[in-house]
Structure 1
Amino acid sequence: MKRQRLAALVAACALAFPLNAAAQGKGMIFAAQEAGTAYYTIGSGLAKLLGEKLNRRVAVQPYSGSSVYLPLLDSGEATLAFSSTLDANDAYKGEGRAPLKGLRTVARIWPLRVALMVRANSGIKSTADLRGKRVTVDLKGQRAMGQVIRGMLAAGSLKETDVTALTVANVGEGAKGLTEGNLDASFVAVGIPLVKQAHSTIPGGVAYADIGSGPDRAKALLSFSPGTYPDRLDPAPHLPEVRAPIHVAAFDILLLTGAKTPDADIAAVLKVLEESFADLQKDYPQLRTGDAKKLALPTNTVPFHPGAIAYFRSRGLWTPANEEREKGFK
């Protein structure tokens, strides 16, 4: 109880004097994926906002993938980074690597929609049409995404062996392969700049392979990638590649930090994030599926940082469901 009261007091101080506390602190490093990805684009915007509001330097450092930068959060060499619930889960539990038990959740930011991007004039309408096609199945820098892709194929009643499975370094390399005609389907996050670039470069533009909906499709996704679900995608002005309603895969994106990050820093970051979330949504359409009132949504796959817990309690956003979820972490 004493520790909880102390954490709450620290958070309260950070809320009362966020600019002074931030100005006295050292700079932050926001780790991200390569330029053109959703993590880099939105992360750069958030880093700029934090730098302005907290009066301190927040540098964005790109890496090839979360498997590279999550260890830097764990060790304290980086301060903040986005990660899917899937990658965070694998990293924390040590799937395919040493467990990163120093990872902590700051907030749930938005549900990320992902899909297999194809040429619009290729005749590929759904994942079932990918049989025999050249498909990105693994990304070296994002291990968990390979399971999402396998789940999307399963939604189309396909196995990895039913396609020509290819491995690329990252999302950017896959998009380049599609543009240059070396791939028939590449894994992307919906609506990111890389998609817009491909759409304007490829004659006829690009589209997303529909995974369909319903219990069977949802079960197929979950069988490969727990936490992933089918999500309806409708045509919109900012999504010219979507010409009719389809379903793509989705999962939640978390803002992560390391256990060594001071509670006051986390409280200051969350205050800026909560107060400026609506402004960020105006600049970054993907964030419009998020909600400032759901920053503490208990979909986290690594524990919340003590500074975040204290902040959310002070704002009335911490729920019994959060408490139950925290008990499940070891």
Structure 2
Amino acid sequence: MLTTKLRPLAGAALATSLTIGAPAVFAQDNALPGTVVWTTYDTGGAMHSAAVAISSALKQNDGVNLRVISAGNGAAQQSTLKAGRADFVLAGFDVYFAQEGAFQFGAADWGPQPVRLVMTSMTDQGFGLAIAPELAENVKGPGDLRGLRIAFVQGSPSIAGALQALVIACGDMTWDDVQRVEVPGFGASVDAYINDQADVYFTSTNSGTSVKADASSRGLGWVPVPFANETCWEAIRATDPRWIQKVVTEGVNIPEGGIEMASYPDMLLNTTADRDAGYVQAMLKAIYDNFDDINGATPTTYGLELDRQILSYTVPFHDGAIAYFKEAGVWTDEMQAHNDRLVARQDALKAAWDAVVAMNISDEAEFAAAWKAKRIEMLEAGGFDVPVRDW
């Protein structure tokens, strides 16, 4: 059982990834092209701030123009890879759902995507449920959220999955037990909270938007996820494989000694499997060659440090990233075996998807049912975990 602030960490959970990726951009002699395009969350969030800090360092030191595209939810972010509008996405856990063909990615025009990780981030902050302080006094865990208004971001599998795990599964509830307030994007969920249209929303403890919410008339508190609640944690892990136990010590209104929460890597830089390996390796090299300027540029960029990388997670790493980590001396044979297994899992998902598409099912509900059944069948046949059966 992992209970830590997670400094150097080489492994965490287990799980999965696959679509027709964007056309690969080829680097010459493992050098970055003059313009690189990233997509991430809206302005004001930690990911956008980190992307801008990296962009500034690369522009100033290497003359590379890193353009940052904003997209308010995970499906919109990953669509920029699929359409060839971006080379990389700095995302949350939506990359896993894209790999799985889950939630919006289970629609007929999506399917499991061939995504690959490039780098991760692990800070001392956490992800969790923000709540109004006056309500937090009576909330000792997710099971105490019954009847409250929960901000639900449309088009964000990562946030939808988080709420399903942390609120519904851990709290042993259904959506009928809370008031679901649907909003179009993450920024809108923050606004809904600030404007007293929602009592709880999902966010990171150390983001600029958390500072903004705390400065509002509502203030900001946090819902703990106590480690001693084994039933809750069993339900979380059976619902969503991203979560690890973490004592969060950094963020807005975090008490001395920290809070027991569920968390996962702060940021996941990802691309498609067909992206040129030299390009990906050059992207990582540029980031770490300029890391003295990037580190500390925002409150969370230190989490990108090489010794904080989670190199065995739920989505496989790109061959170009692996080449960089091998040169840095941090990639092991065990990591490679884990990565190969994740790629094989993606292959099983791709085969399952192709089999369903070949059925030529026009009805959306029938297609979704066929995909769910075939996904479970093929994963189990390959000996892979099926962490969630309700997608």
2:201 corresponds to 1:189: no
| Aligned pairs for 1:201-212 within 5 A | 201-203=216-218, 205-212=219-226
Q: Which among 126, 145, 148 is matched to residue 113 of structure 1?
A: 126
In structure 2, the CA distance between the partners of 1:263 and 1:296, relative to structure 1 (3 Å rule), is farther
Separation of aligned partners in 2, 1:148 and 1:196: 21
Q: Which among 259, 282, 286 is matched to residue 246 of structure 1?
A: 259
Q: Which runs of 5+ in 1 are unaligned?
A: 1-9, 15-20
Contact kept in structure 2, 1:53 and 1:272, CA below 8 Å: no
**Offset, 1:290:** 4.8
In structure 2, the CA distance between the partners of 1:133 and 1:164, relative to structure 1 (3 Å rule), is same
Separation of aligned partners in 1, 2:221 and 2:310: 33
Separation of aligned partners in 2, 1:151 and 1:246: 18
Contact kept in structure 2, 1:117 and 1:186, CA below 8 Å: yes
2:94 corresponds to 1:87: yes
Separation of aligned partners in 1, 2:239 and 2:292: 34
**Offset, 1:227:** 1.9
Q: Deviations over 1:25-75 (max 9, x none)?
A: 241111011111222121211222233333221111101212112132234
RMSD in angstroms over aligned alpha carbons? 2.6
| Aligned pairs for 1:105-144 within 5 A | 105-110=117-122, 113-122=126-135, 123-126=137-140, 127-136=142-151, 138-144=152-158
**Offset, 1:283:** 2.6
Contact kept in structure 2, 1:135 and 1:165, CA below 8 Å: yes
Which residue of structure 2 lines up, in the alignment, with residue 5 of structure 1?
A: none
**Offset, 1:134:** 0.8
Aligned residues: 306
Q: Which among 325, 349, 362 is matched to residue 312 of structure 1?
A: 325
Instruction: Name the structure where strand makes up a greater proportion of residues.
Output: 1
Contact kept in structure 1, 2:72 and 2:186, CA below 8 Å: no
Secondary structure, in 3 states, of the residue corresponding to 2:300? Answer: helix
TM-score of the superposed pair, with normalisation by structure 2 = 0.71
Q: Deviations over 1:234-277 (max 9, x none)?
A: 3x5xx342235322221123211234433332222211323444
Secondary structure, in 3 states, of the residue corresponding to 2:180? Answer: strand
Q: Which among 48, 51, 54 is matched to residue 40 of structure 1?
A: 48
**Offset, 1:278:** 5.5
Which residue of structure 2 lines up, in the alignment, with residue 155 of structure 1?
A: 170
Q: Deviations over 1:270-302 (max 9, x none)?
A: 11323444653423333445541343612141x
Letter in 1 for 2:197: N
Contact kept in structure 1, 2:40 and 2:91, CA below 8 Å: no
Q: Which among 278, 284, 290 is matched to residue 270 of structure 1?
A: 284
Separation of aligned partners in 2, 1:310 and 1:29: 22
Letter in 2 for 1:231: K
**Offset, 1:176:** 0.8
Contact kept in structure 1, 2:243 and 2:262, CA below 8 Å: yes
Separation of aligned partners in 1, 2:295 and 2:340: 32
The more displaced of 291-300 and 142-151 is: 291-300
The more displaced of 118-127 and 192-201 is: 118-127
Contact kept in structure 2, 1:71 and 1:100, CA below 8 Å: no
Q: Which among 75, 78, 81 is matched to residue 70 of structure 1?
A: 78
2:67 corresponds to 1:59: yes
Separation of aligned partners in 1, 2:90 and 2:222: 24
Separation of aligned partners in 2, 1:243 and 1:294: 23
Separation of aligned partners in 1, 2:209 and 2:94: 21
Separation of aligned partners in 2, 1:305 and 1:208: 35
TM-score of the superposed pair, with normalisation by structure 1 = 0.83
Q: Deviations over 1:80-118 (max 9, x none)?
A: 21123x321221232223235342221223367211111
Letter in 2 for 1:116: L
Q: Which runs of 5+ in 2 are unaligned?
A: 1-25, 348-391
